[in-house]
Amino acid sequence: MLYMEISTWEPESRDLILEHFKEIKMPAGIKVHNQWVDLTGGRYFILYECDDAEALATFNLPWSDVCYIETVPVMGSTDFMSLMSKRN
């Protein structure tokens, strides 16, 4: 499944976030498609595939002490339209 994840943090957590980024390692089971950093600060976006709940938890839990993580299952709009047209 494809996920868009948005991580946000408070300005005072910036240094902790930078330290976490230096240590980041993707666990097996997560395939990253792309990553973006909000140039105005305080947000990070990542698009990845994952079908393994353990890999998802392994990736997210180390960040839970320094930021808020919103994980949203997503699908490309072309694929979504194709899926919806099959339903009718």
For residue 80, count other CB atoms closer than 10 A to its CB. 11
Percent of the chain with pLDDT over 90: 64
Q: What is the pLDDT of residue 25?
A: 83
| Strands 43-50, 30-37: pairing kind | antiparallel
Q: Please give the average per-residue pLDDT across 49-58, as a whole number.
A: 92
Q: What is the pLDDT of residue 88?
A: 66
Is the C-alpha dihedral spanning 23, 24, 26, 32 positive or negative? negative
Architecture of domain 2-87: 2-Layer Sandwich (3.30)
Q: Please give the average per-residue pLDDT across 43-67, as a whole number.
A: 91
Q: Where are the domains of the chain?
A: 2-87
In angstroms, rounded to a whole number, what is the distance separating the alpha carbons of residues 6 and 25?
17
Q: What is the pLDDT of residue 82?
A: 92
